[in-house]
A and B are shown apart, each in its own frame.
Chain A
Amino acid sequence: MKLSAGGAARLAVAAPNPEVSAVASRTATHHRYLMCPPTYFDVVYSINPWMDPGKPVDPRLALLQWQRIHDVFVELGHPVELIPPVPGLPDMVFAANGATVMDGRALVARFRYDERAAESAAYLDWFAARGYQARQAEWTNEGEGDFLMAGGWLLAGSGFRTDRRSHTESEEFLGRPVIGLTLVDDHYYHLDTALAVLDERTVAYYPAAFAPGSQEILRALFPDAIIATDADARAFGLNAVSDGRHVVLPAGATSLVAQLRERGFEPAEVEVSELLRAGGGVKCCTLELRAPVAAEPVSRPAASGLSVVVTSVASDSHNWNLVYLQLALEELGHRVLNLGPCVPEELLVSECLRVRPDLVVVSSVNGHGLIDGMALIALIRACPELAGTPVVIGGKLGIAGPAGQQSRDRLRSAGFDAVFEDDSGMAAFRRFTERLTTRVST
Chain B
Amino acid sequence: MTAGAGPTGSFGGFVTRAHQAGRLVVQPRMGMSSPRAMRAGLLATKHASATTVGTITLDSYTRMGDHHRARAAVAAGAELNGYPIVAHDAATTRGVLDGVAGPDFPVQIRHGSPCPDDIVGALIDVGLHATEGGPVSYCLPYSRAPLDASIRSWARSCELLAGLAGPGVQPHLETFGGCMMGQLCPPGLLIAMSVLECLFFRQHGLRSVSLSYAQQTHPEQDAEAVLALRRLAAEWLPDVDSHVVLYAYMGVYPRTNGGASRLLADAARLAVRTGAARLIVKTVVEAYRIPSITDNVDALETAAAAAGRHPPGARSPGDTGTGDTGIYAEASALIEAVVNLRPDLGRALADAFRSGYLDVPYCLHPDNAGRTRSYIDGTGRLQWSGIGSLPIRGVLKPTGSGELTSDGLLASLSYVERKYDNASLEEYLAMPVQAVVVG
Interfacial residues, chain A to chain B (CB-CB below 8 A): 114, 117-118, 120-121, 124-125, 135-136, 138, 317, 319-320, 322-325, 327-328, 331, 338-344, 347
Contact = CB atoms under 8 A, between A and B. Distances in A.
A125 B388 CA distance: 8
A423 to B, nearest CB: 13
B371 to A, nearest CB: 5
Contacts of A138: 394
A319 B363 contact: yes
Given A135-B393, A320-B413, A323-B364, A342 B144 contact: yes
Interface of B: 60, 141-144, 181, 183, 351, 354-357, 362-366, 369, 371, 386, 388-389, 391, 393-394, 404-406, 409-410, 413
B148 to A, nearest CB: 14
Question: Which are the 7 A-B pairs with shortest beta-carbon distances?
Answer: A340-B364, A117-B355, A328-B406, A327-B406, A317-B142, A121-B388, A121-B389
Contacts of A136: 389, 391, 393
Contacts of B351: 114
Contacts of A320: 183, 362, 409, 413
Q: Which of A138, A319, A325, A328 has the most CB of B within 10 A?
A: A319
A338 B406 CA distance: 15
Given A114-B354, A347-B144, 11 more contacts: A114-B351, A118-B389, A121-B356, A135-B394, A136-B391, A319-B142, A319-B364, A323-B362, A324-B406, A327-B409, A342-B143
A441 to B, nearest CB: 22
A118 B355 contact: yes
A424 to B, nearest CB: 15
A117 B364 contact: no
Contacts of B386: 125
B57 to A, nearest CB: 15
A117 B355 CA distance: 5
25 contacts: A117-B389, A118-B355, A118-B356, A118-B371, A121-B356, A121-B369, A121-B388, A124-B389, A135-B394, A136-B393, A317-B141, A320-B362, A322-B364, A323-B362, A324-B409, A328-B406, A338-B364, A339-B364, A340-B364, A341-B142, A341-B143, A341-B144, A343-B144, A344-B144, A347-B144
A117 to B, nearest CB: 4
A121 B363 contact: no
A317 B362 CA distance: 14
Given A114-B351, A121-B388, A327 B142 contact: no
A360 to B, nearest CB: 16
Contacts of B141: 317, 319
Contacts of B410: 324
Contacts of A327: 404-406, 409
A240 B19 CA distance: 67
Contact of A341 (B355, B356, B364, B391): B364
A136 B371 CA distance: 15
A319 B141 CA distance: 8
B64 to A, nearest CB: 8
Contacts of B366: 340
Nearest to B144: A342
Contact of B362 (A118, A319, A331, A344): A319
